[in-house]
Amino acid sequence: MRRRTLLAAALAPSACAGPLSRPYPEKRLYVLEAKRAGASPASARPRSLLLRAVTAAPGAEGRGLVTRLPGNVQQTDFWNEFFAPPADMVHDAIRRWLADSGLFTAVLDPGSRGRADLALEARLVALFGDGTDPRAPAARLHLQTLLFGLDRDPPRILARGDYDRRVPVASLAPEVVAPALSQALALVLADLEADLRRSLG
């Protein structure tokens, strides 16, 4: 009996070293941000902008990095995520970018008590690593916007924007795609700013 007990004790460590005891990969978190060269001079025409909360289309609302592959296959990476919901980070990036554009005296967030002359709505349509063409992988970000004038009731639409940018990448590895998505966001916001300048004069 004692011999059997010793044998069981000797086998116990090897039994515990099964698949469940293997270390899991560490989760990596990424930030989605847009950097511009610097602030622009303030416009001579004083006007303030209300930036409404950015919404996300289905497939663009999750934090996990998304990859699209041939054959209508879409994968979400559990181990590589954005630090916060992408729509929230896009909202923050738009607010900072337009605040530095010089187009507005203030860029207000929802819930602000300030009075706005204009309102901007934005919808994050797509945000993923695009591997649908294996010969040309890219990071893709697609944003749609509506600019409203608040001088009438109901508000009138002054401009519509549709911005779809692709940044070529060497691979679809998360550490390559995530910073490329930030580059795509910066390109989108530069396009948005240029359109706002034309629309507002």
Beta bridge partners of 106: 48
- The pLDDT of 125-147, averaged and rounded, is 97
DSSP 72: T
3-state secondary structure of 100: coil
Give all domains of the chain, ordered by start, each with its CATH number: 41-200 (3.40.50.10610)
Tokens 């592959």 belong to residue: 69
The reported pTM is 0.86
Kind and range of the H or E element at 30? strand 28-30
Task: Measure the CA–CA gap between 115 and 11, rounded to whole angstroms.
Answer: 73
Q: Which two tokens stand for residue 191?
A: 């396009």
Of all residues in the chain, the percent with pLDDT exceeding 70 is 88
Task: Measure the CA–CA gap between 178 and 139, rounded to whole angstroms.
Answer: 8
pLDDT band at 11 (very low <50, low <70, confident <90, very high): very low
- Give yes or no for residue 87 having a pLDDT over 50: yes
3-state secondary structure of 111: coil
